[in-house]
Structure 1
Amino acid sequence: MCDRSAERAFIGSFTSAGGRGIISAAVDGSTGALKETGATDAVADPSYLAIGATDRGRVLYAVSETTEGAVAAFDITEDTAAPRLIGVPAPVRGAGPTHLAVVGGHVLTANYTCGSVSVLPVGPDGEPSAAVGVLRHEGRGPHPQRQRGPHAHQVLPDPTGQWILDVDLGTDSVGVCELDPATGDMSLHRETALRPGTGPRHLTFHPSGRHAYVINELEPTLTVCRWDASEGVLEALGETTVLPGGFAGPGYASEAAVAHDGRFLWVANRGHDSIAVLGLDASGARAELITTVPCGGHWPRDLTLDPTGTRLYAANERSGDVTWFDIDARSGVPRRAGSIAAPAASCVVFA
């Protein structure tokens, strides 16, 4: 478990909504405060970011969440004011990539608009090439506007690195996939159907690796799942609300983070503009809503736990800021500690 403080953070944003692209920030190790050092708008709408590494140094990857869809790579080996673009953005052969993950020698993207997952090879310097494999989803859900077809929203490896999980909001399902590292081909191993109309958005794992938690966007709930890495089986166990009773809505959960010790789970709620605090039992098989606290802004699109596990960072898209919170170790309740301006903020990652 990494317990050191990060030295740098990178904030993604929507340039089409007034964002500045990717903002670089220094991190104060004692307070968690962010201080902007520079920005780059070298790629349009870098809404989601991920950190990778090559033999030559560290690389920041960004989706370009546009109709054409692309992935850009930035050199962050040196502590410069802003990251330097490597080569040119590579097409993903899909529309509206909204999430990406670095897996071995590839970058994978979840393409929301067209409902597919793309596999892009990465060169020695970290530059991605055009997608060599595209896994296309099929199906729809009951929501008349949001689920007319598949909408891949997240792709990530499981804790063992053996499987790739693929969360689809449009089909109310999570795919368990296999990636061939030699060819870049990705195939569906098994698909887990979740309750129709919930609209699964993102997934995160318990530290034990034996349970996973799916955040649902269309209904503000958390689906607790059992994960069997030996067989590649994800099994839904039950749902827990992430909003307090009496809230009339609408509310749209966006992201979750799990405590390093597995005692708590936090969920960002758009509309309610809050962070939900959930308690987890010792096994991770049960979750219970404890309370909610204000997110520090409006429309928290992303929620990130820092490497020390003691602070949360909310990217508040519509109020244009990133707010950070100190976490009470006993209760799990976040306490607002500061914020930084970041127009149309969409995510935060640490290096």
Structure 2
Amino acid sequence: MYLNHSKLIVGIVILSIISCTSNKKEKKQEETLEKKQESYTMLVGTYTSESSEGIYKVQFNPNTAELSEASLVASSENPSFLTQSKDGKFVYAVNENDPGTLSTFQWNKEKTQLELQSKFSDGGKHPCFVGINPSQDQVAIANYSSGNVSVYSIKDGVVSEKPQTKNHSGSSIIKPNQDAPHAHSSKYSKDGKFLFVADLGIDKVMGYAVSEKGELQDQFIALEMDAGDGPRHFIFHPTDDIVYIISEFSNTITVANLNAETGKMTKIDKVSTLPDDFKDASYCADIQISSDGKFVYGSNRGHNSIAVFEVKNDGKLNLIQTESVQGDWPRNFTLAPNDTHVIVANQKSDNIAVFKRDANSGFINYTGNELKMSMPVCLKFD
């Protein structure tokens, strides 16, 4: 009896030691994970007509919702829109000038500076958007003033010198803004089979099938927008074949079903981004969607707000909030990693404002944290 009792005690002690060791390992792993998530790197594209000098790096702490001071990582003229490779090694920036250029950067070993790898003419004027395809072997640039799209091939992060260029034609009813084509954003479908371009000047979303060799096929109208909409940016639903298109002039979001086989879009809904009682001038800019596909966010320049929409079961939208951006002219904004915050670049008030996001309600609330810097217009997390 005594012997058995002693063995029982020894066994309990051993199990306690194992359990304690296991708990310590788990705690250490959790602490390591938390440490890794203490901050995220965010890149900021700017206009450089005032005091900004190019592309900046900012650290964002999701626990405190604080932004670090910005550090210049690449001198570049008017890098107004950026995109990054999936491996985080390369950054592609449009230089919004006439003529326009595409600048390719690679991080140095310490990841403290972006080193210029190439800078080529993009075959257009005032490029304002650059999108990368899922296989990471093409980037597509929307050229605003010349109303065309340019596509570069990529190999090992480096872009080819000569792009494919496709020109748009036409006009629409708002003068002089829609006297001619104005390509404003260029994104590939989730499977990379199509390239879509929102053209603000002609009220159309244009489509291009992409061959296995990466060649753009003949253009087609993916979606005819309403006259005077001015489609600017668009975002795909993360799981469903639905696209959300934000329009600059009508201050609306159009919801459309996407035929993944043909690239054609069918309109199913259109909602305003503004409160019913707001009658002053305002111009939509950017659009984002939460990673769970439950909420859509759009920016209003003029009303100076973020419009928050609940996504219904059929993909249609219900406006649930318009929140002040704590600044002027929210050209671009982004959701932080894990969708914990919404961070807004206010071009005219020279500040970046941080908002806490509620995952259940979708609502956002200002944290009181901001970063002052000259003319921020694009935010991208590493």
TM-score, length basis structure 2: 0.85
- Give the equivalent residue in structure 2 for 1:143: 174
> Does 2:380 correspond to 1:335?
no
Identify the match of residue 76 of structure 1 among 86, 91, 107.
Answer: 107
More helix by share: 2
Max Rg structure: 2
Shift of 1:342: 2.2
Inter-partner Cα distance in structure 1 for 2:48 and 2:293 = 36
Shift of 1:63: 0.3
Identify the match of residue 83 of structure 2 among 27, 34, 50.
Answer: 50
SS in structure 1 opposite 2:49?
helix
> Does 2:345 correspond to 1:315?
yes
Inter-partner Cα distance in structure 2 for 1:255 and 1:198 = 14
Inter-partner Cα distance in structure 2 for 1:79 and 1:50 = 20
Inter-partner Cα distance in structure 2 for 1:129 and 1:261 = 36
Shift of 1:132: 2.6
SS in structure 1 opposite 2:261?
coil
Runs of 4+ in 1 over 6 A off after TM superposition: none
> Does 2:144 correspond to 1:112?
yes
> Does 2:64 correspond to 1:31?
yes
> Does 2:322 correspond to 1:292?
yes
Relative to structure 1, is the Cα distance of residues 79 and 271 closer, same or farther in structure 2, using a 3 angstrom cutoff?
A: farther
- Greater mean alpha carbon deviation, residues 75-84 or residues 171-180: 75-84
- Give the equivalent residue in structure 2 for 1:9: 42
Give a deviation string over 1:282-309, Cα, whole Å, max 9, x none. 231x111112111121100002112211
Inter-partner Cα distance in structure 2 for 1:244 and 1:322 = 24
- Give the equivalent residue in structure 2 for 1:121: 153
- Give the equivalent residue in structure 2 for 1:177: 208
- Kept in 1, the 8 Å contact 2:294–2:311? The answer is yes
- Kept in 1, the 8 Å contact 2:339–2:359? The answer is no
Give a deviation string over 1:235-258, Cα, whole Å, max 9, x none. 112210100011122011101111
Unaligned stretches of 5+ in structure 1? Answer: none
Relative to structure 1, is the Cα distance of residues 158 and 142 closer, same or farther in structure 2, using a 3 angstrom cutoff?
A: same
Unaligned stretches of 5+ in structure 2? Answer: 1-35
Shift of 1:187: 3.2
> Does 2:280 correspond to 1:249?
yes
Relative to structure 1, is the Cα distance of residues 58 and 335 closer, same or farther in structure 2, using a 3 angstrom cutoff?
A: same
Give a deviation string over 1:36-90, Cα, whole Å, max 9, x none. 3521453210000001157xx610110000001111111126443332222x311
Relative to structure 1, is the Cα distance of residues 15 and 98 closer, same or farther in structure 2, using a 3 angstrom cutoff?
A: same
- Give the equivalent residue in structure 2 for 1:188: 219
- Kept in 2, the 8 Å contact 1:106–1:184? The answer is no
> Does 2:342 correspond to 1:347?
no
The structure with higher relative contact order (CA 8 Å, sep 6+) is 1
Inter-partner Cα distance in structure 2 for 1:176 and 1:200 = 14
- Give the equivalent residue in structure 2 for 1:226: 257
Relative to structure 1, is the Cα distance of residues 336 and 102 closer, same or farther in structure 2, using a 3 angstrom cutoff?
A: same
Aligned length: 343
Shift of 1:210: 1.5
- Kept in 2, the 8 Å contact 1:37–1:81? The answer is no
> Does 2:278 correspond to 1:258?
no
Q: Counterpart of 1:97 in structure 2: which amino acid?
A: P
- Kept in 1, the 8 Å contact 2:222–2:263? The answer is no
- Give the equivalent residue in structure 2 for 1:197: 228
Shift of 1:207: 1.8
Give a deviation string over 1:117-167, Cα, whole Å, max 9, x none. 00112243x232333310100110101110000000000011222211110
